[in-house]
Amino acid sequence: MAHERERPRPAIAITCSIVAHEAGDRFMLPRAYVRAVVDAGGTPLIVPPLPAALTAEMFARCDGLLLPGGGDIDPELLGEEPHPWATEIYRERDDLEMGLCRLALARDMPLLAICRGEQVLNVAAGGTLFQDIPSQLPGALEHRQDEPRHHGTHPVRLEAGSLVARVAGVAGGGEVLANSFHHQGVRDVAAGLRATGWTSDGVIEAVEAPGRRFVIGVQWHPECMVDDDPAARRLFLEFVAAAAAYREAMGDGWGSAAGAGAGAGRGRP
CA angle 22, 221, 96 (to 5 degrees): 55
Number of separate domains in the chain: 1
Domain housing 35: 11-260
- 266 in a domain, yes or no? no
Cite the DSSP H helix spans in the chain: 31-39, 52-59, 91-107, 116-124, 133-136, 163-168, 230-250, 254-260
Name the more confident of 136 and 3.
Answer: 136
Answer yes or no: are the C-beta atoms of 214 and 239 closer than 8 Å. Answer: yes
Q: pLDDT tens digits, residue range 77-134?
A: 888 666 655 666 789 999 999 999 999 999 999 999 999 999 999 999 999 998 886 6
Catalytic entry in 118, 159, 223, 238: 223
Nearest of 191, 186, 222, 190 to residue 204 by alpha carbon: 186
Q: Is the pTM of this model over 0.85?
A: yes
3-state helix, strand, coil in the chain (%, to 5): 35, 20, 45
208 has catalytic annotation: no
- 39 in a domain, yes or no? yes
In angstroms, the CA 214 to CA 101 distance is 13
pLDDT, residue 148, reads 63
pLDDT, residue 137, reads 72
Radius of gyration of the chain (CA): 18
3 has catalytic annotation: no
- 267 in a domain, yes or no? no
In angstroms, the CA 266 to CA 80 distance is 39
223 has catalytic annotation: yes
Q: pLDDT tens digits, residue range 15-62?
A: 998 887 888 888 999 999 999 999 999 999 999 998 889 999 999 999
Answer yes or no: are the C-beta atoms of 180 and 153 closer than 8 Å. Answer: yes
To the nearest whole percent, how much of the chain has pLDDT over 90?
A: 59
Q: pLDDT tens digits, residue range 228-255?
A: 999 999 999 999 999 999 999 998 544 3
* 140-144, 172-176, 207-211, 218-222: least confidently modelled range: 140-144
CATH of the domain at 121: 3.40.50.880
Answer yes or no: are the C-beta atoms of 180 and 143 closer than 8 Å. Answer: yes
pLDDT, residue 254, reads 43
Answer yes or no: are the C-beta atoms of 205 and 218 closer than 8 Å. Answer: yes
Give, in order, the Cα–Cα distances in Å from 163 to each of 50, 65, 158, 172, 183: 33, 17, 9, 11, 25
- 1 in a domain, yes or no? no
- 246 in a domain, yes or no? yes
Catalytic entry in 154, 182, 183, 221: 221
Catalytic entry in 115, 159, 182, 208: 115
**3 state DSSP class of 121:** helix
